[in-house]
A and B are shown apart, each in its own frame.
Chain A
Amino acid sequence: MTTIAMGEMEQLRKEADNLKDQITAARKAMQDTTLQEAAASINVVGRVQLKTRKTLRGHLAKIYAMHWSTDSKLCVSASQDGKLIVWDSITTNKVNAIPLKSSWVMTCAYAPSGNLVACGGLDNMCSIYNLKGKDGNVKVMRELAAHTGYLSCCRFLSDSEIITSSGDCTCVLWDIETGTQKTIFAGHQGDCMSLAVSPDFKFFISGACDFTAKLWDIREGTCRQTFGGHESDINAIGFFPNGNAVITGSDDASCKLYDLRADQELITYQDSSIMCGVTSLAPSLSGRLLLAGYDDFNVNIWDTLKAERVGVLAGHDNRVSCIGVSSDGMACCTGSWDSFLKIWN
């Protein structure tokens, strides 16, 4: 780099640091209480003891992802055995077993309509499958290819739009019909690992290996807010059920809740006895509980207001890679590297 170019970079870096300091000060000025202080008069929720009600057996290798259908009955899982399986969680029947072109799958998603599922991974693509094809066969409907890195997560907005996050540090909004990129969301300085769509479908959040979470305006195509504080990669992210807060899970062994309107962290869920990374998370229906999967094969259940652990789901023989609470809040599903999915309530 030339001396002039170095000078410009130095100037930009100084400007960025200055702006970051301003943001830190602005946030501090609005911090008149913590969530723990505000919830001091509320009792810790009673011990939560969930039981495994169903075990979904059928995958032959590590499960990397699962997603509930909006009907709270069906769910889809993706495994490195090269299959997407759609399960009836109540009967434990396999509704569809879809063979994949690439077995290196890292994510899967169920469309809100129940008509489509999607998956992707080290093939850098997001493949869309139509479950309701005329002849009853499940076929690839579209292959969305443009990312230059692995597909870490995908979530449908509708049958015609899907958002993906990638190891290439970007997220993309796709038009499924034409198979083209509508919007590229760039800004993260590390692999994007996870994304979640707001309950009103206007925003989405992404967690990345730059230790930050970003809130994006889907239609404007812009990043509205950036949340820091984690000391390592953010692997999991979700919206608090009211859509006004975000929960992140990180390799730094903690989960954090950030409020969108205060633009800052309100509480951290961590314990000195937990030293392994968070792989997945899901809030319960009311938001009172946070279920988080960790590298040590367990799921810890946190009281979100008190930041106390109120339960553990122990039942898998390997890392819990994915977790989801059904839309009606009746059950939680965990997926593991032990090749099983379990339904708990």
Chain B
Amino acid sequence: MPVINVDDLTDKDKALMEVTQLKREVQLQRWMTSKCCEEIKDYIQAGVDEDTLVKGISEDKNPFKEKGGCVIC
């Protein structure tokens, strides 16, 4: 992989790099946003029931449960 020393780049080098990059990006095949939104919704719905931060967790199943008070026997 060629090693670029960014400090050595002139303003023109940077401008050229930007144009080269934009030419690459303009070619991108894009999906319709509706299709992407459906996928995100589906992914969330499939996992939300197992999502502790959304559904909560019972004290006895919670590995982080606060310790009970001390009992001196």
Task: List A residues at the B interface (Cβ < 8 Å).
Answer: 5, 8-9, 12-13, 15-16, 19-20, 22-23, 26-27, 30-35, 37-39, 42, 45, 48, 50, 53-54, 89-90, 148, 168-170, 181-184, 186-187, 189, 221-226, 240-242, 244-245, 259, 261-264, 266, 284-289, 291, 304-305, 325, 329-332, 343, 345
Contact = CB atoms under 8 A, between A and B. Distances in A.
Given A33-B37, A263-B30, 14 more contacts: A9-B12, A12-B19, A23-B25, A30-B31, A37-B37, A224-B28, A226-B21, A244-B40, A259-B36, A261-B30, A284-B54, A287-B47, A331-B64, A345-B53
A169 B5 CA distance: 11
Interface in B30-73: 30-41, 43-44, 46-48, 50-54, 57, 62-66
Given A33-B33, A221-B1, A329-B53, A19 B26 contact: yes
A169 B53 contact: no
Nearest to A184: B4
A182 B32 CA distance: 36
By size class, the interface of chain B is 35 or more
A127 B63 CA distance: 32
Given A187-B17, A187-B21, A31 B33 contact: yes
B12 A8 contact: yes
Contacts, number: 188
Nearest to B15: A12
24 contacts: A8-B12, A9-B11, A16-B19, A16-B22, A23-B22, A23-B25, A26-B28, A35-B40, A182-B1, A186-B9, A221-B1, A259-B36, A261-B30, A261-B31, A266-B33, A266-B40, A284-B54, A286-B43, A286-B44, A288-B51, A289-B54, A291-B53, A305-B40, A345-B62
B1 A330 contact: no
B57 A5 contact: no
A330 B51 CA distance: 8
A17 B11 CA distance: 16
A261 B51 CA distance: 25
B58 to A, nearest CB: 11
Contacts of A35: 33, 37, 40
Nearest to A214: B21
Contact of B65 (A53, A261, A291): A53
Contacts of B4: 184, 186
Nearest to B61: A330
Contacts of A264: 30, 33
B65 A39 contact: no
Given A31-B33, A245-B40, A53 B66 contact: yes
Nearest to A243: B43
Contacts of A263: 28, 30
A33 to B, nearest CB: 5
B64 A9 contact: no
B44 A304 contact: yes
A48 B52 CA distance: 11
B44 to A, nearest CB: 5
